[in-house]
Structure 1
Amino acid sequence: MTAGALLCGTAAFMPSDSLPTSIIYYSIGVATVIATLVGVRRHRPADPSSWYVFAIGISCFVVGDLLYEVTGWFLGERPYPYWNDALYFVGYPFLWAGLLLVARRRGGSRDSAGLIDAAIIGTAAALVNWVFLVNPVLGDDSTPLLERLVSAGYPVSDVIMLAVVARMLTRSRGRTPSVLMLAAGSSLTLGCDVVWTIDMSSDGQVGSIINAGFLLGYVCWAGAALHPSMRRESADEPVAGGRFGRGRLIVLAAATLLVPAVLFLQGFRHEPVAWAPVGIGAVVLFLLVLTRMYGFVGQVQQQAAQLENLAMHDELTGLANRRQFEQRLTEAVTTGSPQVCMLDLNGFKAVNDRLGHAVGDRLLVVVAERLTGELRESDMVARMGGDEFAILIPEATIAEGDAIATRLSRVLRQPATVDGQELHVGGSIGIAGSDGTGDPVEVLRRADVAMYAAKAADGTHRRYTTDLDHPAATEAQLDADVPAVLGGVS
């Protein structure tokens, strides 16, 4: 890569039509094709066919360059358009397809945001190219039609190349060293081609600096093929949803501002306003930006919903968490007479100590499923933390609340099989209603007091009564725990 860059710098100071310059130029072109094939054999990417397609495109360019030079040697002139131009136009689709295939991401979600961004950039570039390059060339009646079509074909091809490069760089997790070098080489080829087209339209010669730019593009392509990261370009990698950073925002804003810029420039130069292409370009850009913003708003709403779900649910069990439970309890107390159960597993610490926290976590998942299965659709079960759960029974009588507490106690006493171990755990349940209070915090406190009373007594369930608030009743709340019985392997 360094040697190639030095040769490019040397060529920039040599006469463009000299034999040494020609040797350097075509040697680098051929070496780029060989480097691409060597890179495929050495690094073995997941999709080598994409690199072969890209190599075909480079080969068409190199053969076209050789034909251009040979024509000058044998004919003493270089006709335009000629067969070398046909080779360039044949090579462009292979380059576009190869670049897109090399940088693609398989197995992930479709990156429609990056596709729209590339379309915005391509549309803006197409507008500028049409107004200042293509339209003047096609409108020049003094030039033969074939020459006008070929001359206009190069800017059109360059616009597509720009869109391809934009698509490469807007892909999620797509900017590896190999892709960056591919994009750099394509950008150099694009820029030099645009300058060459402008120079050609004024009957100028391709300069040494332009030649050096083309050569440096070849060197970047060769470096991309030889870099070890090329093997990952087609690998299955997760696509992170389209990021909308400051750099992308600036590029898209600049692209959309090209429409008024074209109008200002034509007005400043006192030229006839190209109202048709400007109008069409403005409408297309508006629709693309509108689509992009619609997708962006949808993405923000989806992420907000995900964050809300994470904020309201327990990550381990999928149950509601304390925050959501307290919100629902507040609503239930305000609108009706709910029953609340607080539940603490008996002997859960012994499971963690003897079998490890992983088994304890899976046991919590089993308990959560069992509790949910015993409740009505309108009821809610939440994990309050550790091995403590809360159950909200809205619009329930005391009898209904006690019945549910009895069912929960019974289902918890059934053995649970986790990782081949039959675990016998129970639960201490406290139940309280909202009678005599409209404070949800007080209802939760009552159920909590009743739960500790149940734990201190027989470890099943107990309803809150005012006598439980006596200091003598609360003194032993935190010390009682009924050990779990670890059975044999099921």
Structure 2
Amino acid sequence: MTVLVLANTVAFGLSVALGRLWPPALSWLPLPMIILLAALLAARADRNAAPELRRYWRLNVAGLIIFGAAMALRAIDAAAGGGSALVPIATVLHVVGGLTMMAALNQLPLGARSRSSRLTVTLDVGTLMVATGVLVFHFAVLPLLQAARITLFDLLAAIVLMAAGMGTVQTAATVALSGVATMSRRSLAAVGASAVIGGLGSAVGLLLPLGLPINPMVLLLPLAAYTIALSARFQMVDAEQPELPRPRRGYSLMPYVAVAVVSVMLAVTALTRAPDHLIVVGFAVAIIALVILRQLIAFRQNDALLQENRRQRERLSHEASHDALTGLPNRTLFARRLAAAAGRDAPFCLVLVDLDDFKAVNDTMGHAVGDALLVHVAERMTAGVRPSDTVARLGGDEFAILFEGVTQDRIGTVLSRISNILLEPAVIEGELLSVKASFGVVQGRPGDDPHHLQRRADIAMYEAKERGEGGHQIYQPGMETRGAERSRLAAELRAAIAGDQLVLHYQPEVTLPEGRIVAAEALVRWQHPERGLLGPGAFVDTAEQTGLIVPMGHWVLREATRQAAVWAAGAGEPISISVNASARQLRDPGFPGEVASALAGSGLPAGLLTLEITESTAVGGGATQQTLAELRAIGVRLSLDDFGTGASTLSLLATCPVNEIKLDRSFTPPPGTEAIATAVVQLARAFGVVAVAEGVETPEQADRLTALGYTRAQGFHFARPMPADQLSELLRNAASTATVSFSR
């Protein structure tokens, strides 16, 4: 096809330069062949095209076939000597073919979608159409009007074909300027070139031959068909690429080329005193008006773009300096404000805030509830400070507050207010929650290093957190040493859990007044390689703060049930084993399964395992209550430890599914008052649970508790915590004597 087009172009050039060298029929003969070859390529593109482009390619195929038929009729007419009845038929086919090609262009999904984009494209196309009108009128219409003889058919054909050609140019320019999302840029450029060449060639070639020895359509229509073939080829090749390049509306030279064309025509008609000079002046005025309007719109678009860029920069700046979840300043912005406060000549306070047990909320209720809780905390903390103060989220559940112009002697009142605000229950994603937080405070002065201040506030916060009751702690010199010791202890404890350094001691629980052993409480000890045997007071708090209480509790549960199963298999009456369960364990939905696994692994009946929980743990929310219910369903007994020291005691007995309550040692008479001990045993009877007195250290206490109605007790008077082998010996003696005698 390329060879045919090149040969046809060379032949046309020779005919223009040297005159007619061969019969006219030979000049028309290559046209139908070239056009039909282009139709074949367009048909192939249709088979491989995206669905939204197939109608375009099919109409192109139809239009090319119609054009090929028209050119074949012209070749036959030329062979017959010209002037036959085939010319009007060819002209009609030419018009139909052009309209079909215009319809194909209108099937393309244009890229310009916004109102502003469509208006801009319309003005650019209008500018191009004005320039096209100048050329067509000057070189085609004006000579026709000046001809000595013109038939009605020639006039009508000229009008129709000129309109078709101009319409094709308009449609092609619109497509080229708007872009098509599913068509490659070079394929789209070829479409525009084909429409311009074919449209102008049809209009000019059918109006007048321009005094040439050969009709210009002989050159222009094959070129138009060839560019369509190129467009089809480009589209097929680009469709095989991983990602089709997407056209975009950019800077276009078309309107400026149109202005240049009209300017040249204005100068030419003025210098040659052409009769259509005033008409060209009118076209020039029209094009100037379009350009001015286009520039005004461009100015407005540029202003809108600048405004959008400014808003985008502000949005990006805000996103870079603020937390996406809560909208609070992030660590970067807070560091800048802290550095600025340290550079001013005024005191300030830095407070780091950590939410207690936030991980348990995430683990048991899901991250959606956790995120909503963080937003709630951010709102409440912001409401509790002045507008001049800065509340920031540093990450996770850690927040920071910068109080400017405030000294540490006044900060306690403010933090107490914030703490009380956070403690107020709120419904978060359908869950009733309250938040306990720990605050670390450091006093800042002009010139202080912000990094050192944050480190000290962090140390103070962990001191507050270590107390396990929330509240705030002001940094004091020497806290670094305690913090380092805490970190060292946590590392050693982690190694102890992995290295089997933990051991269990057991303290018997006996009946009153007989003193018969019916249960034992498992108490963890740490056989430290350097410091010897450590009691729970030396490491349990650290385990709670670091989360090591969970793996430690898992080990205690496994070991205690194993040992209890050994005792149950021995001689005598089986005793139950009591194991302390932490709040973190009870908030874990998998804890009941862990308990069931420990029972199955040891072979211990579920009724011989008692899990001891504190009052504060039992009121820890819906997830804890669900866990307790599942544990009861397994058959495990539940004991409420340290009874009377927590909150909501009476309502707790009605809602918490426990089997026994343990009177806290502080209420064991004496030195505790008999009124509380009496009330507790009466409550136990009323609710149908067992009452156990803890901390019994003297015979007098045991006798008095028996008189008050207690049937079980535990304490140093009966036995101190002991290794498993010692308790095994004690149980063997009990089996032979029915009771155990404890020295008084």
After TM superposition, the score normalised by the length of structure 1 is 0.69
Whether the aligned pair in 1 keeps the contact of 2:35 and 2:64 (CA below 8 Å) is no
Whether 2:146 is the aligned partner of 1:142: answer yes
- The alpha-carbon distance between structure 1 residues 25 and 161, as it changes in their structure 2 partners (threshold 3 A), is same
Whether the aligned pair in 1 keeps the contact of 2:29 and 2:72 (CA below 8 Å) is no
Which residue of structure 1 aligns with residue 44 of structure 2? 35
Richer in helix (by share): 1
403-412 or 316-325, which deviates more: 403-412
Which residues of 2 match residues 48-447 of structure 1 at below 5 A? 50-71=53-74, 73-74=76-77, 76-77=82-83, 78=87, 82-99=91-108, 101=109, 110=113, 115=118, 118-119=121-122, 121-134=124-137, 137-139=140-142, 141-142=145-146, 145-150=155-160, 152-153=162-163, 154-168=165-179, 174=181, 177=184, 180-194=186-200, 197-198=203-204, 201=208, 202-204=210-212, 205-206=215-216, 209-223=219-233, 226=236, 229=239, 248-249=250-251, 251=252, 255-256=255-256, 258-259=258-259, 262-263=262-263, 266-267=266-267, 270=270, 272=277, 273-274=281-282, 275-315=284-324, 318-326=327-335, 340-344=350-354, 365-366=371-372, 368-377=374-383, 378=387, 381-385=391-395, 388-392=398-402, 398=411, 401-407=414-420, 410=423, 428-431=438-441, 437=445, 446=453
- The alpha-carbon distance between structure 1 residues 12 and 148, as it changes in their structure 2 partners (threshold 3 A), is closer
- The alpha-carbon distance between structure 1 residues 310 and 128, as it changes in their structure 2 partners (threshold 3 A), is same
- The alpha-carbon distance between structure 1 residues 301 and 72, as it changes in their structure 2 partners (threshold 3 A), is same
Whether the aligned pair in 2 keeps the contact of 1:341 and 1:432 (CA below 8 Å) is yes
**What is the percent sequence identity of the aligned residues?**
14
- The alpha-carbon distance between structure 1 residues 225 and 303, as it changes in their structure 2 partners (threshold 3 A), is same
Which of 468, 472, 483 in structure 1 is aligned with 2:546? 483
Q: Counterpart of 2:401 in structure 1: which amino acid?
A: I
Whether the aligned pair in 1 keeps the contact of 2:127 and 2:258 (CA below 8 Å) is yes
- The alpha-carbon distance between structure 1 residues 316 and 409, as it changes in their structure 2 partners (threshold 3 A), is closer
- The alpha-carbon distance between structure 1 residues 5 and 136, as it changes in their structure 2 partners (threshold 3 A), is closer
- The alpha-carbon distance between structure 1 residues 433 and 133, as it changes in their structure 2 partners (threshold 3 A), is farther
SS at match of 2:311: helix
SS at match of 1:82: helix
- The alpha-carbon distance between structure 1 residues 104 and 265, as it changes in their structure 2 partners (threshold 3 A), is closer
Q: 1:446, 1:96 → 2: CA distance?
A: 70
Aligned length: 442
After TM superposition, the score normalised by the length of structure 2 is 0.48
SS at match of 1:341: strand
Whether the aligned pair in 1 keeps the contact of 2:31 and 2:222 (CA below 8 Å) is no
Which residue of structure 1 aligns with residue 665 of structure 2? none
Q: 1:351, 1:184 → 2: CA distance?
A: 63
Q: Counterpart of 1:69 in structure 2: which amino acid?
A: A
1:156-213 deviations in Å (ceiling 9; x for gaps): 4313312211211xx6xx3754x63243233234235435655664254136553442
Q: 1:164, 1:124 → 2: CA distance?
A: 15
Which of 434, 453, 460 in structure 2 is aligned with 1:453? 460
Q: Counterpart of 2:353 in structure 1: which amino acid?
A: L
Q: 2:198, 2:248 → 1: CA distance?
A: 31
Structure 2: runs of 5+ lacking an equivalent: 13-23, 272-276, 488-541, 548-583, 590-622, 624-744
Structure 1 residue 448 displacement after superposition: 5.2
1:346-401 deviations in Å (ceiling 9; x for gaps): 7889999xx9xxx9987974553242242345575423356642235689963552
Whether the aligned pair in 1 keeps the contact of 2:354 and 2:438 (CA below 8 Å) is yes
Q: 1:442, 1:360 → 2: CA distance?
A: 39
SS at match of 1:384: strand
Whether the aligned pair in 2 keeps the contact of 1:313 and 1:324 (CA below 8 Å) is yes
Structure 1 residue 87 displacement after superposition: 0.8
Q: 1:452, 1:186 → 2: CA distance?
A: 72
Whether the aligned pair in 1 keeps the contact of 2:111 and 2:178 (CA below 8 Å) is no
Whether the aligned pair in 1 keeps the contact of 2:350 and 2:457 (CA below 8 Å) is no
1:387-441 deviations in Å (ceiling 9; x for gaps): 64223568996355213442477589x9x99xxxxxx99754224577xx567x7
SS at match of 1:270: helix
1:23-59 deviations in Å (ceiling 9; x for gaps): 522422442453354335xxxx454xx5225422541
Whether the aligned pair in 2 keeps the contact of 1:14 and 1:21 (CA below 8 Å) is no
- The alpha-carbon distance between structure 1 residues 256 and 306, as it changes in their structure 2 partners (threshold 3 A), is farther
SS at match of 1:98: coil
Q: 2:178, 2:424 → 1: CA distance?
A: 57
Of the two structures, which has the highest relative contact order with CA contacts closer than 8 Å and spacing of 6 or more?
1
SS at match of 2:472: strand
Q: 1:260, 1:218 → 2: CA distance?
A: 27
SS at match of 1:374: helix
Which residue of structure 2 aligns with residue 420 of structure 1? none
Which residue of structure 1 aligns with residue 479 of structure 2? 473
Structure 1: runs of 5+ lacking an equivalent: 418-423
Q: Counterpart of 2:54 in structure 1: which amino acid?
A: W
Q: 1:343, 1:243 → 2: CA distance?
A: 50
- Cα RMSD (Å) of the superposition? 5.0
Q: 2:241, 2:114 → 1: CA distance?
A: 21
Q: 2:156, 2:255 → 1: CA distance?
A: 32
Q: 1:112, 1:326 → 2: CA distance?
A: 45
Structure 1 residue 329 displacement after superposition: 6.3
Q: 1:95, 1:54 → 2: CA distance?
A: 7
- The alpha-carbon distance between structure 1 residues 136 and 296, as it changes in their structure 2 partners (threshold 3 A), is farther
Q: Counterpart of 2:297 in structure 1: which amino acid?
A: L
SS at match of 2:467: coil
SS at match of 2:146: coil
Which residue of structure 1 aligns with residue 691 of structure 2? none
304-313 or 110-119, which deviates more: 110-119
SS at match of 1:320: coil
Structure 1 residue 285 displacement after superposition: 2.0
